[in-house]
Amino acid sequence: MISFSRKFDVKVIICGLQIVVLLLFGWVPISTAEIPIIREHQLKAVFLYRFAHFITWPPTAFESPYAPFRICLWGDEDPFHGQLYLAVADEKIRGRLIEVQRITFIEDMVPCQIVYADESRHRYKANLFRFVKDYPILTVSDMKNFVARGGMIEFYNFGNKIRFMMAPKNIKRARLKASARLLQLAKIVR
């Protein structure tokens, strides 16, 4: 299991600032088609962080009262291109520090509260659903049919907007509770 430190967050911020400066001064050619991709990753990262504020986990979801809140990224690459680290830097969820981890194996999900499944793991999603059914883990992805196949939250594009759909029965089955406010914002899949 790989855990990223604050040192990594500082490097991401510095790199991001350098890119912004280069873009402002026109030193890096970028097409307008690339800009929405950057915004999409940023928005999804913020959504992922905000989901944690509208879901309730049972106390057994944490190793101890002082354990961090873990958001795990399961896939070959960082689907948020560093934006999740920026979104959660110095933030807490219900008094718990947030730890973002990249994981490779399904078994590494046990201490996670949220698992984001990257498209690179598409062929393994049935294994994911079989494994997490015994744990209070919120599963999120932008894989097509993720919620229909057993996932809990799926990002999708509608026009020029990022939306999300939810499967309340899958969330409840994992002993998690979604707030009514979050359910109102989502497209519900039954």
What's the whole-number mean pLDDT along residues 44-61?
A: 93
pLDDT-based confidence at residue 27 (cuts at 50, 70, 90): very low
Token couple for 179: 């707030």
User: Which CATH number is 2-188's, of 3.40.50, 2.30.30, 3.30.450, 3.30.365?
Assistant: 3.40.50
> Which helix (H) or strand (E) element contains residue 7?
helix 6-24
Per the CB < 8 A criterion, the answer to whether 101 and 148 are in contact is: no
| Domain range list for the chain | 2-188
Supply φ then ψ for residue 80, to 5 degrees.
-100, 0
Evaluate if residue 24 carries a pLDDT over 60: no
pLDDT digits (tens, 9 = 90+) for 89-139: 889 999 999 999 999 999 999 999 999 998 888 889 889 999 998 899 999
> Which helix (H) or strand (E) element contains residue 99?
strand 96-103
pLDDT for the residue 38: 57
pTM across the whole model: 0.78
